[in-house]
Amino acid sequence: MDTLRIDICYRPLRVGWAVRQGDFESLRRIVRWSHTLWGGRHNPILVVDDAEHAKRIVETFRVDVVCSVGADESVRTFPTRFPYLISPFYNEALTVRGMHEHQAQFLDIHNTLIAMGDDGAIKDIREKGFRAYSWDGDDALADILLIQMGAYPSVDEIGIDYRAIVNDALEPQEIPLPADGPLPASLLEYPTISYLPRHKMGRHYSVPGGWDFPGFFVGDVADFDDLVAYWNLRAADISMWFVDPNHLERFAEIIPAWEKHARGLITNTPDHRSGLAVWTRRDDHQSIQDLFGGRMNTFCSLRDDSWHQGAVSAPMMYFGEAQVLASVGGSDRDTPRLSFPLADKPFCGDRWFHSQHLVASVSFGIGLYNDEKFTLQPPYVPELNEYLAQTMHFDYRMLRIEPERIGIVIDASDVDASISAAPAASLLERIFDLAGLETGLSNGGLIAKQLITRLDGVQGARVFKIPGVRRLIRTHGPNASFTKKSALQLIGGRDPENPSAKFSDYERLFIEARSLNTKLSPQDVFAYLVEKGLFRIGADLTCPACRLPSWTALDGLKQRIVCPLCGGEFDATRQLVGEHWSYRRSGVLGLEKNNQGAVPVVLTLQQLDANNHGRAHLYSPSLDLKPKDGTAPFEVDFVWMTCGDARRKSKIILGECKDRKEDAIDETDIQNLRRAADALPRDRFDAFILLAKLAPFSDHEIALARTLNSQYRRRVIMLTARELEPYHFFERTKKEFPTIKEHGSSPEDLALVTAQLYFSKVE
């Protein structure tokens, strides 16, 4: 692949403002600063006094960088709780001193105004009439007016006179608001300072929404926590107006005007069927409903858990996108590297704005198709930011992992960017490092890895679905030779241990390209296995001196042969003339007769891959796991991970595979799998445990497997040849148990069917 079509979304850096509870002055600074930034409306406020809640806000908003506001020690040290959110700036001030004047480090509204001039938006706003409102600092509603209408910091505070920039570009009408009268409904009719940070901002589809009901927030304008909650809900792109029952007369005109406006939003958005909502942190629901005459249809009680249980979800906000072709090359280590232009910029990319930073959020579509060694779609685990930046980028500060995307921090004047693929093995190693486990391929893992390489990827393991192929491998050890005839009989014949299995079931199986009208034959299968190097061609020759037979590979055959047993040389011409070729297993299948379980491992990986439905994933065959706490090391037969998004955690499947009935899953296997699954961070991963056996499970194995589940946690998956041999997991199982409900498209589906089949009665 020389080129790859990619999607670029341009978005602002999302700042999390850290502040002490009750620090109103710092809160006001945050609001003013946010109004200077393009996208600043969508930056959340983090109250550090409740560190766990603040962390949930960081997670919900997928914050790019945490900035402290205030002199308190707890505020200044709060960013250290998120070492993976490395600031992209060496100087963490909002602005830096250039050669002649201060310049912003984030994309700011000066850039917005230049871009608006280029696309004609400034002319439209001037025609509508831009307004700048002011109010008395002693007004009881001063803080909510600041949040709602916007204002700018002083030049002494920030070094840039944003008010002068706006005045020059938009020529606003100055409107003072009375300190004791009702707020005029006209506040909703004209663009104001609060519009500029939201110019062109829209939601990206990559993050699904949670509660999203426009309406009113009922709170106390003097309550710090109410103000922060209101700001954060609007930062999550939920449309609402603040109403304080203590000053109800001030909102007399705003309430009906906003209600009419919000109902228009619902009309234009068919997904909203619940009507207008009231958001509040209070418990007196009836009295709040009475404020609106019972007209509100939805009541949203805001609690701390609303931010981490999925009730409130902060969408990814962006202001432009482009589709471009990236050129794909390789480094000295053959690591794929993509280079691409930063086209169709929705912002001003003039060199003057080189100090301003934003994010180019990149999606790679099909990714590196069929490349199982590298990935462009790592799981959404922000703790890996620095590692991925060092691996995929050239600057450890300038990369953010996003749901199903990668964010590259760029400056506004950049014209192109590049990124390298991440090595899958190294990435899995880092993931287990988060669980306190050191990893390395086991001997069985090395064999399975070589086997997958010979088969050109896990889909080459489809050939192992055929019971006769597995029987051929089991029948002949590494030092046993056999003829083509006997191999074809084993591949195409019936298995005495499984008389219901027959080769005709696989005549439509594609192990390589062939005509659609041609059926697969045992001859095709054997030729494929030999071509892929799983079996070697040679001849059995008898030494006339020692009279002992030995096998010689085709590459080593010649008329005069040195006997590998006695060392004597003899003429093999007569034997070669009448010889039929014989075959032996190659080293890729292992030195042991049962090849250390590599076949059931790669077959299980193949089935997971075939039923993955295009989701990004990583996998590894057998791993040795060594806990960093010094406890005993252990092994898992494979790891499979489906990369998740912001709302759905990444799924990790840890597997144990057995070949025959005699190979039993025991308590040690179960305990090792439990240790690995329990070690993975539950806030990032959903861990499942897969037991695969190419024979039926015994009652004892089923009883052991049941212990891996709990009343509220279903995580064990059990698969036999019945699920691994067909194309779809439950293709055969549904014929035997018609009432099972799932199709096996996710680990949850597999775990559910396992519970139905083995832990409850299924008719």
- Which pLDDT tens digit goes with each residue over 35-87? 999 999 999 999 999 999 999 999 999 999 999 999 899 999 999 999 999 99
Lowest-confidence region among 241-255, 262-276, 367-381: 262-276
Are the beta carbons of 750 and 717 closer than 8 angstroms?
yes
Confidence check: pLDDT of 761 > 70:
no
**Residue 707 confidence (pLDDT):** 95
**Residue 499 confidence (pLDDT):** 75
Confidence check: pLDDT of 428 > 70:
yes
The residue to which tokens 């707020």 are assigned:
183
Residue 91 — pLDDT band, cuts 50, 70, 90? confident
Residue 242 — pLDDT band, cuts 50, 70, 90? very high
Q: Residue range 389-394: average pLDDT?
A: 92
Confidence check: pLDDT of 594 > 80:
no
**Residue 763 confidence (pLDDT):** 45
C-beta pairs of 604-608 under 8 Å, 24+ apart in sequence? 604/638, 604/655, 604/657, 604/690, 604/692, 604/719, 604/724, 605/452, 605/458, 605/461, 605/638, 605/640, 606/458, 606/459, 606/460, 606/461, 606/462, 606/464, 607/719, 607/723, 607/724, 607/729, 608/640, 608/653
Q: Residue range 315-327: average pLDDT?
A: 94
Could you please report the per-residue DSSP string of 420-431?
EPEEHHHHHHHH
**Tokens describing residue 6:** 């990619």
Q: Residue range 675-685: average pLDDT?
A: 93
In the chain, % of residues over pLDDT 70: 95
Beta-ladder partners of 635:
624
Confidence check: pLDDT of 569 > 60:
yes
Residue 267 — pLDDT band, cuts 50, 70, 90? low
- Length in residues, the chain: 763
**Residue 590 confidence (pLDDT):** 64
| 632: DSSP letter | P
Q: For residue 500, give every residue at least 6 positions away whose Cβ sits within 8 Å of its Cβ, in sequence order, or none.
A: none
CB-CB neighbours of 24 under 10 Å: 12
Q: For residue 521, give every residue at least 6 positions away whose Cβ sits within 8 Å of its Cβ, in sequence order, or none.
A: 492, 507
707 versus 549: which is more confidently predicted?
707
- Which pLDDT tens digit goes with each residue over 535-546? 999 888 888 888
pTM of the model: 0.88
Name the average pLDDT for the chain.
Answer: 90
Confidence check: pLDDT of 425 > 80:
yes
CA-nearest of 540, 545, 510, 541 to 524 is 510
Confidence check: pLDDT of 332 > 80:
no
Burial environment of residue 124 by CB neighbours within 10 A (0 to 12, 13 to 18, 19 or more): exposed
Name the strand (E) or helix (H) holding 521: none
**Residue 130 confidence (pLDDT):** 95
Dihedral of the alpha carbons of 603, 607, 610, 612, in degrees to the nearest 10:
-130
